[in-house]
Amino acid sequence: MSALTFTLKAAPAQRVDCSLLTPDELAEKSVADIAAIELAVGNTVERVDSLFDISGNDVNDIKFSNSCDKLDFVGRNMTSGKITIDGNVGAYLGIFLEGGEIEVNGNTEGYTACEMKSGQIKINGNAGDFLGGVRPGRRNGMTGGVVIVTGDTGARTGDHMRRGMILIEGNAGDYCGSRMISGTIAVLGNVGSHLGYAMKRGTVLLTKAPSQGISANFNDCGSHTLAFLPLLFASFTKLDSQFAKVDSFSRVQRYAGDVGGIGMGEILVKI
């Protein structure tokens, strides 16, 4: 058995809904069946084999090669298996992900890991806006699992995030941790403005102080030695990430906010 590979023939003019190409959806299907699946492309539908060259047959190990940023909803509702994407990918990657693993060797568009429940997403590149966020009008963003981004993230990372971890090796955009309900966001690089805007609870862990300072809506609670941090770093060691190699520390400056709301969120900055 070799990985079931979808090689994009040419970049489509319209967006393609790839939510039917997950291990769950393709289970028990023959390659001929898969080729005949119709995907929504803009306001029309097209067969899988007219968009992709298909090779391999292991539906639990799916690859998209020559991918482009028009491929939306990859890994939607997936519960197990692995999807690997070579190239950029569109919006809503891993939306409602319940298990399994997605790896992207490229950049993602907005709403990556939107309302993700469990599993792991690794992006070897940059992520768009609303990483781990929530669809407009909904109450809970990401509720579990781990997202690793080796590059930068867009604005509103972890918007309405409920649980789980987002680990950013590069820089985070503006409004990182906005409306966050709980969960953990850790950033090795810089963060943009309005960090933790309307944050309720949860933790944003920074290895360096934000260049523009901390928002007035966060109170400086002084420096602390937090015993949970070494445990947190220990949990990183099994991950394929720079975070596995970070020297553990427990001494941080703690800021609590957003006091415009219930103010139970925290920003921890390494000192």
Q: Least distance from C-beta 97 to another protein, angstroms?
A: 17
Rounded to a whole number of angstroms, the minimum distance from the CB of residue 139 to another protein is 5
- Minimum CB distance to another protein, residue 98 (Å): 18
- Cα first-last separation, the chain: 51
- Which CB sits closer to another protein, 2 or 14? 14
Task: Give the span between the Cα atoms of 39 and 32, in whole angstroms.
Answer: 15
CB 138 to another protein: min, Å: 6
Instruction: Indicate the residue among 137 and 222 with the shorter CB distance to another protein.
Output: 137
Cα 249 from Cα 259, distance rounded (Å)? 27
Q: Which is nearer to another protein, 70 or 160 (CB)?
A: 160
Nearer to another protein, 71 or 181 (CB): 181
* Residues lying near another protein in the complex (CB under 8 A): 135-139
- 163-168 and 52-55 as β-strands: parallel, antiparallel, unpaired? unpaired
Distances (CA, A) of 179 to 50, 130, 140: 42, 11, 10
Name the pairing type of β-strands 143-149 and 120-123: parallel
Residue in the structure block whose two tokens are 């995030």: 161
Minimum CB distance to another protein smaller for 96 or for 175: 96
Catalogue the E-assigned strands of 76-151: 82-87, 101-105, 120-123, 143-149
Residue 96 or 255 with smaller CB distance to another protein: 96
Rounded Cα–Cα distance for residues 123 and 169 (Å)? 10
Least distance to another protein, CB of residue 137, Å: 4
